[in-house]
Each structure stands twice: as C-alpha cells, then as structure tokens.
Amino acid sequence: MLATASVLPNSIEDFNGYMHFIDMNRDLWEADKLLSWGVTKDVNPYTLPDDHPAAILRMTTQAVVRFITGENARKKSAGFYLQKVWAKCLIRRTYASEDPLLPGTTIGAALPKLHTRRIVCRFTEAEHLEYLKFSILPRRKLAHVLENGRLVWNRKYSRQLVLNSTWTGFHYIGDDIMADTVRDWKTSPKLLYCWIKLLHKKQVEVHGHELFRLPDYNDIPAQLAVVCQGAPKLRHTLRIIAELVVLMKRKIIIWCSLPPNQLLLFACFQALRIDAACYTADLNRAERSGIVNKFITSPSSCFAFIGGFNVGSCGLNLHLLCNWAIDFDCAANRGQEEQAIGRLRRIGQKFTVERFELSVESSFQDRQSMNLLMKALPGAIAELAMNVYEYDQLDEDGEKEFSVGDWYLIGGELVQGPDPRVTGIHAEQKLTPLELVEAIFTNKKGSREEQWVTERVDYGFDVDEELGQDEDDQMLDYD
C-alpha cells in the first residue's frame, strides 16, 4: 500500500518508481494466463470491466508503462487509467477528506483561503532585443538527448536563460555567481555595489568602453537604477516590497529557483536597509534554524525570507507571522509549487494567504511555466479524483472516450451544465477532461494582471489611513 498525499511531484512518469514495489508478479502476461482469461497480449486492461479476471493486469509494470507513463501512452486517458491503479493501492487524505481533529469538517475547510495574483511583467522594447540577443546561444544548446533517446534540457543553458529572464546583467556576471561563492557574496557589506562594479568591468572588457557610468559607493538610488534596467520582475518586486514591508511593516516570503536570483534580491534589500534573510544551501543546520526562528517569532525584524525551491525549505512552517508570498521564479515542477504554497497555507494560519506569481512575457520563464502545466495535466486527472464517465463509442484509436460531465469556460469562469448561462452554447465548446483540468489549474493560479496596471497593490483600504500615520513618517530615512 502507498500512503502519501503528493504521489506525483513532477509528472505522471514519477509513478514508475513505485511500480517496483507494487508489481510483485512478473508472469501475469504469460500466454497461458492470457488465454485462460480470454484476452490477447494486445489487451488494454484499463478498458475491461472491473470484475474481469484480466483486470489484474492493471497492476503490472508492463501495463502501467504501456498505457499510463510511457512515451507512447495517450495523455488524455493516462490519468483515468491511473485512477484505477490508485483505487487498489493508495491511501491518502485530500482537501475533501474529513479533518481528523474536527469531525464533520473537511481539511479544505480548515485551511485558510488562498488568493493569487499573476503579474505579467514586460521587458521594454530595448530590453527585449537585448534579452533575445543574449539568449541565442543558450536556446540553441538547450535541448540535450540522453543515451536512451530522451530529450531533456541542458542544466547549464537553462540556468543562463532563467537568469537572463530575471536580469539581462546576468549575461555578463552570471558565471561569477556559483554555488561555491554564495557565502562570500552574502557576507559582502555592499553586495549591490560589488555586483554593479563587476558588471561595469565585464562590459568594458567585452565592448571596449563603458555602457553606464559607475555610481558612487554610497549612491543607492543610482545603483538601483542600474540593476533595475533589464529586470522587469525586480522592478515590480520592489514596488510590492515598498507597499507591504516599508509602508505596512508586513513580513513576506519570496521564492526563487536559483541562488543568483536570491542574492540579487538580498543585495537590493541590503542596500535599502530592509532586514532580510537569504535561505541558501551554504547554511548549516544551526544557521537555518536561526533564520527560521527569527522570521516566525520576531515581529519587528527579518521582514523578508528569500527562499529557494531547491534548498530543502519545503518542510518549513513559516506561517506564524506571515501570510504574503511572491513566486519570483517559476518552480521546476508542480510539487515544488504546492510545497511553497504550503509553507503559509496550513492549519494554524489565521489570515488569507496572499500570493503574487511574477512572470516575464516572451521569456524562457513563460516556456517553463507552460511546460510545468503540460507535464502536470495527466497526473492531475488522477490526483483530483474526478468523477469519470466512459462512453460506449470509441475514439480514433479504438479506445473508449471519457467524460467528466458538461463543463464550459465562460468569461474565465467554469460553469457546469445544466446552467442557464450555457443555454445555446454549441456542444463543441464543452471542455474535454484535459481542457477542464487545464482550466482548473489556470483559475487556481489566480487573476492575470498587467505590470503597469498594478501601480499600487489594492488591499481594500487606504494604506495611509489604515496606519494612521503621516506620509512622511512612512518613508525610509535615506541620507
């Protein structure tokens, strides 16, 4: 038996690892057994009635790989087939399960609400041209074919594309910021100035002349002006920080995919004298515990927790003094994304969890986000435990069609028939199971907002009036 809430952290192929333990009978596909059950070696056991003797073949590695997880498996049916496997071996709680501490209440009802805003950040025209120029080589070398013929992304070049999506300045200095130098960079008292000085030097080496005048050592506004060029996500993040941290004195968590992005934010906060903690892999256990304890117990310090999707922070409880988060980067998979949300959205959180998901249009991050979604769709059909109906008619591949009921997407809202709003809508607009799951994921991500529209975060009240302070009292004291 499997006992887990997150069976598929990345994609439906993850289930192959479990089949080694589930499939103990290696001879079920022998010819004499198939003959005794009245089926052939080409049988699809997932299309047989549940009480058919050959339905036992569903629990074999051969069937799972062929019809669910393999390269030739059909994505639109794989999730429904996986449900039939899980029905025999999986024990788990879902949001719809009963809360063991409060009988009669579901786990979902015990959790705080989650509100997500997807902020679409954009390069300026000049920045986008620069981004495209810097991305030619890594895009060309991104795809890599393994010995088994599987196509994967080259980690080196995907890293370059992620960093370029964040800040085009990383094109020049990204190779100087590796895992073994993170601690050295973090201990610099003027990290932002050090990076800008390094950028200035590298650009002179490449172009033979300076592209910008090096700001003075203590000129923080000029340094921020340099680093914000070519960094649309950073520009918007600083606006959010101005509202939440500087004005409202709220704590916030920021999730990044790479250490250089964490350090970029840390450098800006350091320059702005905003108390922040950078949770990176160089920290030992005592240092990590110290950061977490300070963040969750001290209301007047450690206002920003800069975490990494890949730095073992998925088990932290960070909700005691914080209910705001920013996904600065795209997670590598849906499991990481859900775990990051779970650091705040958990039983014991007293407030609605507010989350910003930043993306840069026409960048590699957009491609990452779409890839994450497409990988997660088949597995999500099984994870959502959707009610499935099998049609008697067969599709073009000779297999039964599936239905999850009459669902339509109207004005961005999911509507199930019979509803007056679907009257007169053509039947072809009814969502397929995969389209329904995609719409659920999209709606779950929250409302999509343009960067320039969200000039000021709307909290439902006037910040100055709520705080009861004069405007001058809420500004940072800069020399």
As given in the structure block, the two tokens for residue 114 are 């989650």
Contact in structure between 281 and 311 (CB atoms under 8 Å): yes
**pLDDT for position 100:** 81
**pLDDT for position 453:** 40
**pLDDT for position 452:** 46
242 or 443: whose pLDDT is higher? 242
**pLDDT for position 364:** 81
Q: How far apart are CA 117 and CA 354, in angstroms?
A: 8
* For residues 237-258, average pLDDT: 96
Q: How far apart are CA 73 and CA 420, in angstroms?
A: 38
| Confidence tier at 443 by pLDDT (50, 70, 90) | low
Between the alpha carbon of residue 329 and those of residues 89, 164, 369, the distances in Å are 35, 12, 10
**pLDDT for position 347:** 83
As given in the structure block, the two tokens for residue 6 are 């997150």
* For residues 389-413, average pLDDT: 63
**pLDDT for position 96:** 79
466 or 278: whose pLDDT is higher? 278
**pLDDT for position 262:** 97
**pLDDT for position 471:** 32
Characterize 34-47 residue by residue with b for buried, 16 or more Cβ atoms within 10 angstroms of its Cβ, and e for exposed.
beebebeeebbbbb
Contact in structure between 71 and 146 (CB atoms under 8 Å): no
Domain ranges of the chain: 2-91, 110-371, 386-449
Secondary structure, 3-state, the chain: CEECCCCCCCCHHHHHHHHHHHCCCCCCCCHHHHHHHCCCCCCCHHHCCCCCHHHHHHHCHHHHHHHHHCCCCCHHHHHHHHHHHHHHHEECCCCCCECCCCCCCEHHHHCCCEEEEEEEECCCHHHHHHHHHHHHHHHHCCEEECCCCCEEECHHHHHHHHHHHHCCCHHHHHHHCCHHHHHHHHCCCCHHHHHHHHHHHHHHHHHCCCCCCCCCCCCHHHHHHHHHCCCHHHHHHHHHHHHHHHHCCCCEEEEECCHHHHHHHHHHHHHCCCCEEECCCCCCHHHHHHHHHHHHHCCCCCCEEEEECCCCCCCCCCCCCCCEEEECCCCCCHHHHHHHHHCCCCCCCCCCEEEEEEEECCCHHHHHHHHHHHHHHHHHHHHCCCCCEEEEEECCCCCEEEECCCEEEECCEEEECCCHHHCCCCHHHCCCHHHHHHHHHHHHCCEEEECCCCCCCCCCCCHHHHHCCCHHHHCCCCC
**pLDDT for position 457:** 39
pLDDT of residue 376 exceeding 70, the answer is no
| Confidence tier at 12 by pLDDT (50, 70, 90) | confident
* For residues 281-300, average pLDDT: 93
**pLDDT for position 74:** 84
Q: How far apart are CA 39 and CA 307, in angstroms?
A: 54
- Calculate the average pLDDT of the chain: 83
**pLDDT for position 143:** 84
Most confident of 2-6, 76-80, 87-91, 427-431: 87-91
The single residue listed with the structure tokens 């393999």 is 70
Contact in structure between 265 and 328 (CB atoms under 8 Å): yes
* CA atoms within a 13 Å half-sphere pointing along the CA-CB vector of 295: 28
pLDDT of residue 454 exceeding 70, the answer is no
Sheet holding 353-360, edge to edge: 276-278, 304-308, 252-256, 324-327, 353-360, 114-121, 447-450
152 or 227: whose pLDDT is higher? 227
* For residues 174-202, average pLDDT: 95
Q: Which fold has domain 110-371?
A: Rossmann fold (3.40.50)
| Confidence tier at 165 by pLDDT (50, 70, 90) | very high
* For residues 401-426, average pLDDT: 71
**pLDDT for position 455:** 39
147 or 215: whose pLDDT is higher? 215
154 or 265: whose pLDDT is higher? 265
* For residues 180-205, average pLDDT: 96
* For residues 423-448, average pLDDT: 69
As given in the structure block, the two tokens for residue 406 are 């009459």
pLDDT tens digits, one per residue of 339-364: 899 899 988 899 999 999 998 988 88
pLDDT of residue 192 exceeding 80, the answer is yes
**pLDDT for position 444:** 62
**pLDDT for position 269:** 98
Which of 119-133, 311-325, 378-392, 402-416 has the least mean pLDDT?
378-392
* For residues 407-419, average pLDDT: 73
**pLDDT for position 224:** 97
